[in-house]
Amino acid sequence: MQSLLPRRFVSYTRPFTWGSAMIAAMGCALPLLLGLVSGHPGFLWAAAGAFHAAQAKPLHRFGMLRLLLLTGLGACSVGLGFWAASDPLSSLLLFAAYGLLLAWLQRFGAEAGKLGLGLALCLALGQGQQALGNLNNASAVAMLFVLGGLWVALLAFALRGLHGLRTWPHMPRLLSLIKVLHRQARRQAGQQWRLQALSCTLTFSLAGLLVSLAHLPHGYWLTMTALTTLRLKWKSGLRHILCASLASLGAAGLLILLGYSLQSPALMVAILLPLIALSRAIQASHYGLFMLQTVVSFVLLADSLSLDWHLVQGRLLNVLYGVLLAMLVALLVQGLQNYLRKRQTAGLSAS
């Protein structure tokens, strides 16, 4: 099947992993079906934990370690976002810290950047869902997230057993891992990384502050839209900024149109589960495509049990706010980059 796809598409994707795809679909299916039957919002957090944990590849040498790492750190991020949602100052500081963490992890390559992206999405989901559910305890939300991740871990251990692999593989040497990450970080120039860190920190912190100050319903549409404009490497020029913004607008518009046309949690879950399985089967190795896949799946999962899809105005406004905020920060950073470049050129000519 993969030989029938265009070569350019195949180069951006990994070999099809149907085992991981089935784990992702089954991991999300159980809590979502229980949420449909009971109507309890806690099952949505379990489904989010299952989806986040399923991003790891269980058959990989360090797949189980990454799965548990995603579960634990994702639960902490969701709980922190839920806890800080009602306090603008806490949201500002927390989102700024996660924006800086995302930029710092991106410095060590695409895989580390994907880890930071997942944690930032969990933080945004925790903040945006705080005013929509009946739960008011951040610890309970984090524990439900962990339960979803442990359910996926159980499925992953079963998959490893079917393939005759060790239940828990040998761990890597920490010193060797640090050397590899340090070598990867040295490839990026210091000024480029500082501009990227400034862009990530400003964009994500202002997005979290705006959601908290305005008490926006479904605020994760704003924060996740702003997050999609943050690239793995800072690229100058209005062309890249406009392309990322238009892609975010187009994807959000299609998702809102889908939800508005269905307006049924059962139909939404029926469409979402095959979409999650297909997305996980052809998970992109390219960072930009992986970001698009993950954000789309997270947003659909967060709103899969919603009954207010007829209120599309709020979601559209959140998307527009996110795009405008990201473009404003990108233009500011672009202006700063041009100023530093002129200063550097003037200094070289003077010497």
Separation between Cα atoms, residue 297 and residue 24, nearest integer Å:
11
Residues 6+ apart with CB under 8 A from 194: none
Helix (H, G, I), strand (E, B) or coil at 286: coil
Whether the predicted pLDDT of 9 surpasses 50? no
pLDDT of res. 77: 95
Separation between Cα atoms, residue 190 and residue 340, nearest integer Å:
13
Residues 6+ apart with CB under 8 A from 79: 126, 138, 139, 141, 142, 145
Among 174-178, 234-238, 246-250, 253-257, the range scoring the smallest mean pLDDT is 234-238
Residue 267: which pLDDT band, with cuts at 50, 70 and 90? Answer: very high
Residue 341: which pLDDT band, with cuts at 50, 70 and 90? Answer: confident
Per-residue pLDDT reduced to its tens digit, 245-266: 788 888 888 888 988 888 889 9
Whether the predicted pLDDT of 169 surpasses 80? no
pLDDT of res. 222: 93
Per-residue pLDDT reduced to its tens digit, 133-167: 667 888 999 999 999 999 999 999 888 888 777 77
Going from N- to C-terminal start, the domains of the chain cover: 17-350
- Average pLDDT in the 48-53 region? 95
Runs of H (alpha helix) within the chain: 7-12, 18-38, 42-53, 63-84, 88-106, 110-128, 138-162, 174-185, 190-214, 220-227, 238-262, 265-281, 287-302, 312-350
Separation between Cα atoms, residue 101 and residue 78, nearest integer Å:
15
- Average pLDDT in the 193-200 region? 87
Tell me what the pLDDT averaged over the chain comes to: 84
pLDDT of res. 193: 80
pLDDT of res. 32: 94
Q: Which pTM was predicted? A: 0.89
Separation between Cα atoms, residue 26 and residue 50, nearest integer Å:
9
pLDDT of res. 298: 92
Per-residue pLDDT reduced to its tens digit, 66-107: 899 999 999 999 999 999 988 999 999 999 999 999 988 888
Per-residue pLDDT reduced to its tens digit, 274-332: 999 998 888 877 888 888 889 999 999 999 888 888 888 889 999 999 999 988 998 89
Residues 6+ apart with CB under 8 A from 27: 50, 51, 53, 54, 148, 151, 152, 155
Separation between Cα atoms, residue 177 and residue 109, nearest integer Å:
13
Q: How many CB atoms lie within 10 A of CB 70?
A: 23
The phi and psi torsions of 13 (rounded to 5 degrees) equal -120, 160
